[in-house]
Amino acid sequence: MLRLAVICLVVALILALLGFGGLAGSFVGVAKILFIVFLILALISALGGVMSRR
């Protein structure tokens, strides 16, 4: 998930450099959503690991 977010961010940077601002903005939005999903899943996984040790 984090890899996809980074890929979207890199694609957005390349598109911005080439002058495609609208597409770059879309890819940045997708990267933000993927990063938030990654953080939520990482938190759930960490909490699950702590709960299973008890």
What's the pLDDT at 32? Answer: 92
Would residue 35 count as lying in a domain? yes
Task: Give per-residue pLDDT as tens, 1-54.
Answer: 788 888 988 999 999 999 998 889 898 999 999 999 999 999 999 999 888 887
Would residue 54 count as lying in a domain? no
What's the pLDDT at 47? Answer: 93
- In which domain, by residue range, is 42 found? 2-47
Give this prediction's pTM. 0.76
Would residue 32 count as lying in a domain? yes
Would residue 21 count as lying in a domain? yes
Phi-psi region of 22 (alpha: psi -120 to 50; beta: other; left: phi over 0): alpha
Number of domains forming the structure of the chain = 1
Would residue 34 count as lying in a domain? yes
Burial 15-51 (b: 16+ CB within 10 A, else e): beeeeeeeebeebbebbeebbeeeeeeeeeeeeeeee
Would residue 25 count as lying in a domain? yes
Tell me if 23 sits within 8 A of 11, measured CB to CB: no
What's the pLDDT at 16? Answer: 92
